[in-house]
Amino acid sequence: MEYFFCVFNKKSIRVDIYLSTLFADFSRSYIQKIIDKGYVKINWKIINKNIKINYKDVVNIKLIIEKLNILPEKINLDIIYQDNNFLIVNKDAWINTHPVPWELWKTNTLVNALLYHIKDLSWIWWVERPWIVHRLDKDTSWLLMIAKNDKTMLYLQNIIKNREVWKYYIAIVNWIIKENIKIESYIWREINNRLKMSVKNYINWKLAITYVNPIKYIDNKYSIVEVKIETWRTHQIRVHLSSIWHSILWDKTYWNKNVNNEVYKKYGIDRQALHSYKLEFFYNNKQMIFIWDLKNDMKKIIWNYTLKNNIFEFF
């Protein structure tokens, strides 16, 4: 894939940061790699990753995907559905989805586990992260769709893009939410902190829509909520809940440190209390609905409360 375009961002910024923000499906390390190989030109000149891009610069970029040297690993997978075209995995928290350069580069990821457990995966050449249809945070547990071939990858990505996939979460958030809430806003990746999303960044802004429905309460301090997302944006739920002062417990990016320390001491939870428990979409004119239980660490805080009060009947 090759792109030509003119820069309309009036603030000077490092070219690798700008491009990895603009092309959000590709990591910053990947952008740096193709810059080093001469696949990025600014004003028709090959550049290095340290230069800054400026207003009205002309950019030429070639996105070249190379087959990664990833080895199979015997890692437990909670596969809840599988057919010839895709599978649904209930991912544990703390497992990386795909290899990343700054942490456990080629080991202990979901992709390593897939290569071990699934023998009929065909290589998907046109994406940086083969088979992974949609993104997820490392310390979130949830249902994840995995494509086995190009045709299925394209189909699943298109129905996500067209808002034809509904994803539901259970989250435990700070303070009490009393009414159903719809949150609609534009969110962006921060220019100077690619790990964080913001409403102040004006590169590649995207609309995000989130629905929050309260279920029960814990200690009159925290709310157990069901979250439904209409759009699939990076950190969407975390950013939206934080924007209304109801951050997810143990969210380390959009967090309340004092609350998190209190929750850890009382309940032992030390990762963001967010679990994707339900997926709905159509595949080959058939409605697919997948529902799966919470992981044990989130059950602990909810289960303790359930035993005492016998009220959490959602599951």
Active-site residue set: 137
CA atoms of 232 and 27, how far apart (whole Å)? 18
CA atoms of 267 and 234, how far apart (whole Å)? 28
CA dist 182 → 7, 177, 228 (Å):
34, 12, 10
**Could you tell me how many residues make up the chain?**
315
**Furthest CA-CA distance within the chain:** 68
- How many C-beta atoms lie closer than 10 Å to residue 33's C-beta? 17
- Which phi and psi (to 5°) does residue 314 adopt? -60, -35
CA atoms of 156 and 79, how far apart (whole Å)? 18
| CB-based contact 109:95 (threshold 8 Å) | yes
CA 71 to chain centre: 23
Sheet containing 40-42, strands listed edge to edge, beginning at the edge strand earlier in sequence:
2-6, 58-62, 40-42, 45-46
What dihedral angle (degrees, nearest 10) is formed by the CA atoms of 258, 260, 261, 266?
A: 130
